[in-house]
Structure 1
Amino acid sequence: MKRLASLDQQVFEWIAKHTSTYEKKALMSFFKGVSKTGDGHLYFILAAILYYLDKEHGVLFFYTALLAYSFEVPMYLALKHVFKRTRPCDLLLNFKSIVIPSDKFSLPSGHTAAAFLMATIIAHFYPTVGAVAYIWASFVGISRIVLRVHFPLDVIIGMALGVSVANTSINILG
């Protein structure tokens, strides 16, 4: 585990060093904006719009997302408190966060979990836009590293959590 944590930290430091010159430029603004889309507000709005506008899939999409988030949120919170991993911006004094973290602990990335959960459900019900949804979710995950609030492994575990919970919910509701 120490070796994995060390590698994870080295990858984080490499990313942080190679993006630090862009802190006040368009790239950092882009990642802040992408990260903001993962805050959660848009998920409910999208599900509500589809609920009312798409008679074929919208209702099932809404209930699948609702079920998935009712599993994901408690699992995310439990994992945070089990691992209690220090955020990179608190552990590595050379790398201050670009945004204010939403909570104290780092593992898993909740933004990434939620984004991949939504992308997986979107890809299931609307396969023609599935690739776009996964690209967006990937950028949400990357943004959390670039903004210095998560290590890469936090993002990978968040992705696995979101995809697995979404697939479980899809299978439960058929």
Structure 2
Amino acid sequence: MKLLLSIHKYDVFMFTWLVNAKIHRTLSNISRYLSKTGDGQLYTLIIGLLYFIEGIESPLLRAILLAFLLERPIYFILKNGFKRNRPEAALKNFRSIIKPSDKFSFPSGHTSAAFMMATLVGYFFPVFMIPLYGWALLVGFSRVVLGVHFPTDTLVGCILGVSTAFFSLGQVI
């Protein structure tokens, strides 16, 4: 319990420092757009294009579908099991910039899905690996800037996304 309290204190410190930084207003404007790229429409488009171009036999398509079949239930179990309040509910006098789609913050689903897709697409197209991980990192960072996640929410989202991607690749390849 003491460890969790220490982690939470660190999270609040880092979160508060970021939202009070002079550059926060500029970051929040950019973060709105970055966060939207992780909403899911891009993933649906990629899945549709892969199915249209390569069919269900596409190893990338199969890895993506398996990864989402694993990642989403794990994400929901963790989120509803830990029931960690979002910054707006946990911190007095703080309002997030956007309205989140659900009540709890741990782990970050946007971050998890972004790192999962970055890992899977980067595996099949290695030349894009660094830009994809840069994008996934920015999606996670944007969720903190927008005030809907603490830093460790996005860290665990990253771990969840990469882990499910590697597991899926192991099953498909």
- TM-score class normalised by the smaller sequence: over 0.9
1:19 Cα deviation (Å)?
A: 5.5
Query: Which residue number corresponds to residue 10 of structure 1?
Result: 13
In the alignment of these two chains, the number of paired residues is 170
Q: Secondary structure at the match of 1:101?
A: coil
1:53 Cα deviation (Å)?
A: 3.4
Query: Which residue number corresponds to residue 115 of structure 1?
Result: 114
Query: Which residue number corresponds to residue 52 of structure 2?
Result: 52
Q: Secondary structure at the match of 1:18?
A: coil
1:4 Cα deviation (Å)?
A: 1.2
Q: Secondary structure at the match of 2:97?
A: coil
**Once the two structures are superposed, what CA deviation does each residue of 1:91-138 show, in whole Å capped at 9, x if it has no partner?**
112321101111000100000000000000011011011111100000
1:50 Cα deviation (Å)?
A: 3.0
Counterpart residue type for residue 69 of structure 1: F
Structure 1 CA distance, aligned partners of 2:24 and 2:9? 24
Query: Which residue number corresponds to residue 76 of structure 2?
Result: 77
Query: Where in structure 1 are there 5+ consecutive unaligned residues?
Result: none
TM-score by length of 1: 0.92
Query: Which residue number corresponds to residue 64 of structure 1?
Result: 63
TM-score by length of 2: 0.92
Paired-residue identity, %: 43
Structure 2 CA distance, aligned partners of 1:171 and 1:13? 40
Counterpart residue type for residue 53 of structure 1: I
1:87 Cα deviation (Å)?
A: 0.3
1:21 Cα deviation (Å)?
A: 5.2
**Once the two structures are superposed, what CA deviation does each residue of 1:35-68 show, in whole Å capped at 9, x if it has no partner?**
011011110101221333368xx81111110100
Query: Which residue number corresponds to residue 167 of structure 1?
Result: 166
Structure 2 CA distance, aligned partners of 1:21 and 1:127? 33
Query: Where in structure 2 are there 5+ consecutive unaligned residues?
Result: none
**Is the Cα contact below 8 Å between 1:16 and 1:95 reproduced in 2?**
no
**Is the Cα contact below 8 Å between 1:112 and 1:141 reproduced in 2?**
yes
